[in-house]
Amino acid sequence: MFEEKDFEKTPLSSMGEFGLIEHIKKQFALDQTSSIIGIGDDAAIISHADNTVVSTDLLIEGIHFDLSYMPLKHLGYKAVIVNLSDVFAMNAIPTQITVSIAISNRFSLEAIDELYKGIALACKRYKVDLVGGDTTSSKTGLIISVTALGTAKTEKLSYRSGAKENDLIVVSGDLGGAYMGLQVLEREKAVYKVNPNSQPDLSTYAYSVERQLKPEARADIIDLLDSSNIVPTSMIDVSDGLSSELLHLAKSSGVSCQIYEDKIPIDPEVLQICKEFSINNTTAALNGGEDYELLFTVDQKHYDALKNHPLVTVIGHISEVAKGNNLITGLGQQIELTAQGWNSLLEQD
């Protein structure tokens, strides 16, 4: 970690663009019945019987990832996951992806193979087909653009705009892990710069580091909702931080949200890392981002089906817009929620 993996060095220039595409194509077969034509023609052909859901994300080296501690295989996997998470956030099922990359000449064919191994693993795990994309050169490093396509029946789709007064606010999994994993990695990177002979022991931070480097999309929550005959009144994935996502839902739905601090799910390891770094754990959970959990609202009639379920936690409720968006502490104090999570348009350090 903290130094580039010693790959064999086959220059990409020896392959050419079409040779690279053919090389990539060999790693991917089509499994979805809706995938008619994939890589190799001027365009892919897809036949969806229901609504088609489309989401695109761009990942740029130095902004969204740091290759000094992000393995290329993990990066490929994560690039797919962040897009599949958006599809799941519509209560839809992902079916295909396209992947476009811009690569500088410091990357060898073997390095790109590692990236696509991660992409292939995500495709296999989530049963999606890679059906196209593009490759080009870059003067500034590695840029990855993934587009995910999915499908859903009209009556199953969930938007940000459907939350109504008295709905329950529910979140999957736990929060703050990805952010605290990033703090650990950045600290160890700083140590490595001072002493390149040091090797970090990340064993006590394994869960949080994995949440940062290799997150998972919550397909299991879509299965849970389907098996429970629950269609969320609104839904969003937690990519920019819980507070930001709550405010998105509230604004889109014309309501406000009230959440309870003692209900926010945080893993014990994350609590320990927060203590070690002197970071308030609620702050990490509210503003950290990159957890890729699902945040959604449901009618109160579904409370019994979701209470005490190991996959989800009810953290609050929806109120009329005049009440404002608040975090309610264990002492009953109301603190206004503000968006302090990731903002992609702010100048990054």
pLDDT in tens, the chain (349 residues): 545 455 568 776 666 667 777 777 788 889 999 999 998 888 999 999 999 999 999 999 999 999 999 999 999 999 999 999 999 999 999 999 999 999 998 898 899 999 999 999 999 999 999 999 998 889 888 999 999 999 999 999 999 999 999 999 999 999 999 999 999 999 999 998 898 888 888 999 999 999 999 999 999 999 999 999 999 999 999 999 999 999 999 999 999 999 999 999 999 999 999 999 999 999 999 999 999 999 999 999 999 999 999 999 999 999 999 999 999 999 999 999 998 754 544 555 4
Q: Which residues contact 293 (CB under 8 A, 6 or more apart)?
A: 171, 172, 173, 174, 175, 218, 237, 238
3-state secondary structure of 213: helix
d(Cα 171, Cα 305) in Å, to the nearest integer? Answer: 14
311: its two tokens: 């996959």
**pLDDT at residue 321, rounded to an integer:** 97
Q: Residue written as tokens 């503003």?
A: 287
52: its two tokens: 């088609």
**pLDDT at residue 12, rounded to an integer:** 67
3-state secondary structure of 49: coil
**pLDDT at residue 27, rounded to an integer:** 81
**How many Å from the N-terminal Cα to the C-terminal Cα in the chain?**
22
Residue 244 sits at the vertex; the CA angle it makes with 241 and 247, to the nearest 5 degrees, is: 145
d(Cα 150, Cα 49) in Å, to the nearest integer? Answer: 11
d(Cα 325, Cα 335) in Å, to the nearest integer? Answer: 8
All structural domains of the chain: 12-154 (3.30.1330.10), 168-336 (3.90.650.10)
d(Cα 146, Cα 79) in Å, to the nearest integer? Answer: 7
Structural contact between residues 156 and 232, judged by C-beta atoms closer than 8 angstroms:
no
Structural contact between residues 88 and 221, judged by C-beta atoms closer than 8 angstroms:
yes
d(Cα 253, Cα 321) in Å, to the nearest integer? Answer: 9
**pLDDT at residue 16, rounded to an integer:** 65
DSSP state of 160: T
Q: How far is CA 161 from CA 120, 216, 247, in A?
A: 34, 25, 11
Q: Which of 121, 130, 143, 180 is nearest to 67 (CA)?
A: 143
